[in-house]
Amino acid sequence: MIGRVTGTLVLAATPIGRVEDAPPRLASELATADVIAAEDTRRLKRLVGDLGVTIAGRVVSYFEGNESARTPVLLESLLAGERVLLVTDAGMPSVSDPGYRLVAAAVEADVLVTAVPGPSAVLTALAVSGLPVDRFCFEGFLPRKAGERARRLASLAAEERTMVFFEAPHRTQAALEAMATAFGDDRAAAVCRELTKTHEEVRRGPLAALVEWAAEGVRGEVTVVVSGATAAAASSEPEDLLAAVAGLEEGGMSRKEAIVEVARRAGVPKREVYDLVHKS
């Protein structure tokens, strides 16, 4: 609305490991914000202590459990002309962290949204992985349930871009095993653990080797980077189409989804693949 004065929503990246990696502007934003919305107020207290910052504004919690309810309240602050700073535990807000709902609400209300750029586990892992970085996609956390995880990965089997995933340490081995099933044992990957921290570790190799490594136990924050599929035209021969559908089904994809995916890859009508499957 022309002429209306509103506040500003600032998304501020926080260190993913070393506090020295905090962007210089973060300290001034923390000191001057009218409202600080923090994923974990205890971590915020430690962060401002490490940075030597004194907070003058109000501090409110903003995490997955109260994000929906607190978004309208923060929007009211923005519409009242206040500067609202959003910080999460590590990295950039809204990237697999709280923030999207508030950003969407602010944009809808024509409130200025800006950011303090800084640390990102996604880009850091991608950069050190040694895998192609010219084109990539971020897939966030995989589903916890084995069947849903297998279906998600099966749908990515033909993805040609490098893929970046977040994963919990206790699920890393299972995730790598599912990736090896969906992408093949020889697909190149890297497991990046505790990035920028004292015990940082990057393990590179084929998925089969990484599965074996993870069997010994994985600790800390984990980001997995996987090479994309080699570009190749899928065969439209009947036997190859049937084999492709069967392979996707074995990976956890439903028959209907597998038929659609195989038809897309081969560039043939869905009905053609459907008829082949149901006549075999």
Contact 3, 96 (CB under 8 A): no
| Residue 3, pLDDT above cutoff 70 | no
Q: Report the share of the chain in percent with pLDDT over 70.
A: 96
pLDDT at 71: 97
113-152 burial: b if 16+ Cβ within 10 Å, else e: bebbebbbbbbbbbebbebeeeebebbeebeeeeeebbbb
Residue 39: name the closest of 20, 19, 67 by CA: 67
Contact 233, 181 (CB under 8 A): no
- DSSP E strands in the chain: the ranges are 8-12, 35-38, 58-61, 83-87, 112-116, 136-141, 162-167, 188-193, 201-206, 222-226
Query: What is the pTM (predicted TM-score) of this model?
Result: 0.79
* 1 compared with 92, residue with greater pLDDT: 92
Residue 14 DSSP one-character state = B
Contact 268, 236 (CB under 8 A): yes
| 132-169 residue pLDDT tens | 999 999 999 999 999 999 989 988 988 889 999 999 99
pLDDT at 257: 86
Task: Give the pairing type, strands 8-12 and 58-61.
Answer: unpaired
pLDDT at 237: 83
pLDDT at 72: 97
Separation of alpha carbons 204 and 160, rounded Å: 19
| Residue 270, pLDDT above cutoff 50 | yes
Q: Report the share of the chain in percent with pLDDT over 90.
A: 74
If you average pLDDT over every residue of the chain, what do you get?
Answer: 92
| 7-65 residue pLDDT tens | 999 999 999 999 999 998 999 999 999 999 999 999 999 999 999 999 999 999 999 99
| Residue 1, pLDDT above cutoff 50 | no
- Retrieve residue 148's tokens: 């849903």
| Residue 232, pLDDT above cutoff 60 | no
